[in-house]
Amino acid sequence: MNPPLKPGKVWLVGVGPGSPDLVTVRAMRALAAAEVWLVDDLIAPEMSCYASPGTHVEWVGKRGGRCSVSQERIQKLTLQHALAGRSVARVKGGDPLLFGRGGEEAAFLRGHGVAVEIVNGISSGIAAAQALGIALTHRAHCHGVTFVTGHTSAHGSPDWQALVRGGTTLVIYMGMSRLAAIRDGLLAAGMRSDMPAAVVMHAGSEQARSWTGTLGTLAEALAAGLASPAVMLVGGVVADTLQAVHAIVPDAGSLAA
Amino acid sequence: MNPPLKPGKVWLVGVGPGSPDLVTVRAMRALAAAEVWLVDDLIAPEMSCYASPGTHVEWVGKRGGRCSVSQERIQKLTLQHALAGRSVARVKGGDPLLFGRGGEEAAFLRGHGVAVEIVNGISSGIAAAQALGIALTHRAHCHGVTFVTGHTSAHGSPDWQALVRGGTTLVIYMGMSRLAAIRDGLLAAGMRSDMPAAVVMHAGSEQARSWTGTLGTLAEALAAGLASPAVMLVGGVVADTLQAVHAIVPDAGSLAA
């Protein structure tokens, strides 16, 4: 009889918002070391440049709330590979710890005796700020920034009243399908309709597109063709984009080797 | 007479929280391309592995509020190098757009006709979550996460009342010197004293150290020797660390080539 297999290691790897050059060195090494990749749907195919020859790649993503593979199934699949002794990279967009369910996946795997290492990545909200040429925080405008999901869950909407009173810049993920409700929630919470607002679609990728306006005109972003995956930014700092940039052009290629 | 010099390009480069392997590929390329580096104080000396031979390196950092070089002076120095035709990397910890004054520096330089490209980096708050083995957001706990500065400015303290009511995970930067006041502000705002809390010093670097407890026992972090630069994390998600990890060990070396 063979001795029981030592489980393979699992890396939960954030590969950032899209451009392969926004991957960290640590993520590249994890991607190269893993024998199996389990890849989320929104990951750019170009990311495969980081796979070692012979890597087994499976796409397990979810898109816009519709699960092509359920969260449970993804976790079981990851566990199966690890228990079979294979090292696994769970390849996730952005950062696994910010709306990435990395906490749930890590807890599940650790509960089964599998070693998990989380590798941080650039989140799309911060890449959106880069695309707009603005900072998310500014001494003159606010004390900080809040990242929230606009997606309805069992726990209802964010407390817009409290968030508006808190005065931080708001970066809203997964909110495009509820854009009008979010706008109405912020207006009802007392936010001025002329508060600067922006939407960035495919932030941090070559396909980045953006719209800037105000909270009151937010629905124009939909008319302009912006859709998921996109982040909304609302707050005084967003006005700085008007002075800072005149057109949004992807920066990714400008440093290409 | 010589024709007027074309200004050099300036990259505002976020090099992440400390470990050289948490730098992105785009940042590495910018660091290698720049003829001059103007480097913040808290940047690890190991980061110099990314400099091309002959790079002129100047340290211009600020530490704990005491300016060794003023913000104005840093901006002027950057501009001087750029106007002399030299390409410049302003090397910043974390991300330039999150408490990094990147917005101010970019606006100043663009106002003088200098081309600026911002390169995102991993912020210490998200690296702190990685060090603790927790996610910053979790469907079961909260709608999001708020990054605030605990540092007193002309604009007073954050509105703790609103932030507590908002129910997001709180990640507090630059708060160690005001730890007791922050704890008292959160308690006065109605946060439970048994709310899980953590402090991570040197998050995302080889020197990472952490403390976990509750809001009520937060001052013990100081007694345990945690000090600036450090981030505090407060919220339900922080409790997950207790199940997830038993000791904090730096992960940086585990993937070393």
On average, the pLDDT of chain B sits at 88
- The HSE-up count of residue A209 (CA atoms within 13 Å, CB side) is 11
Q: What pLDDT, on a 0 to 100 scale, did the predictor assign at position B143?
A: 86
pLDDT at B155: 59
Q: What is the pLDDT of residue A206?
A: 87
- Counted across chains A and B, CB pairs separated by less than 8 A come out at 219
Exposed, middle or buried, A171 (CB in 10 Å: 0-12/13-18/19+)? Answer: buried
Say whether the peptide bond before residue A229 is cis (omega within 30 degrees of 0): yes
| pLDDT recorded at residue B116 | 96
CB contact under 8 A, A22 and B24: yes
Label residue A225 exposed, middle or buried (CB < 10 Å: 0-12, 13-18, 19+). Answer: exposed
d(CA B97, CA B70): 19
Q: In what order do the strands lie in the sheet with A10-14?
A: A56-59, A36-39, A88-92, A10-14, A116-119
Contacts of A157 (CB under 8 A, 6+ apart): A150, A181, A185, B143
Whether B40 is catalytic: yes
How far apart (Å, rounded) are the C-alpha atoms in residues B121 and B18?
11
Any idea where the domains of chain B sit in the sequence?
10-119, 124-244
The pLDDT value given to residue B252 = 34
Query: What is the DSSP track for B39-84?
Result: E-TTS-GGGGGGSPTT-EEEE--EETTEESS-HHHHHHHHHHHHHT
Token pair, residue B233, equals 């994390």
Give residue B157's pLDDT: 83
**Scanning the structure block, which residue is given the tokens 């499976």?**
A58
**Which CATH code is given to the segment(s) B124-244?**
3.30.950.10
Residue B50's pLDDT band, with cuts at 50, 70 and 90, is very high
> Average pLDDT of A21-44?
96
Closest CB to B22 among A26, A163, A167: A26
Q: Alpha carbon of A82 to those of A4, A69, A229, B242: distances in Å? A: 13, 18, 30, 23
Find the mean pLDDT for residues B137-149. 87
pLDDT bucket at B48, cuts 50 / 70 / 90: very high
Instruction: Decide: helix, strand or coil at residue A67.
Output: strand
Question: For residue A26, what is the nearest residue in chain B, using CA coordinates?
Answer: B21
**What pLDDT, on a 0 to 100 scale, did the predictor assign at position A247?**
35
Mean pLDDT for B17-41 is 97
- Binned at pLDDT 50, 70 and 90, residue B100 comes out as confident
* Radius of gyration of chain B from its Cα atoms, rounded to whole angstroms: 20
CA B91, A129, A67, A156 torsion-angle sign: positive
Q: Are A184 and A205 in contact (CB under 8 A)?
A: no
Give the pLDDT confidence of B61-94 residue by residue, as tens digits: 765 455 568 889 999 999 999 999 999 999 999 9
CB A65 within 8 A of CB A71: no
pLDDT of residue B247: 35
pLDDT digits (tens, 9 = 90+) for B179-234: 999 999 999 999 999 999 999 999 999 899 999 999 999 999 999 999 999 999 99
Q: What pLDDT sits at residue B251?
A: 39
| Phi/psi-derived region of residue B190, left when phi > 0, alpha when psi is between -120 and 50, beta in every other case | left
Q: Is B121 on the interface with A (CB under 8 A)?
A: yes
Q: How many residues make up chain B in this entry?
A: 257
Q: Which class would CATH give B10-119? A: alpha beta
Q: Which residue among A47, A174, A176, A195 is the active-site one? A: A174
What mean pLDDT value characterizes chain A?
A: 88
**Residues of A with CB below 8 A from B137's CB?**
97-99, 103, 147, 149
CA gap A211, A188 in Å, rounded: 23
% pLDDT > 90, chain B: 75
Active site (annotated) includes residue B28: no
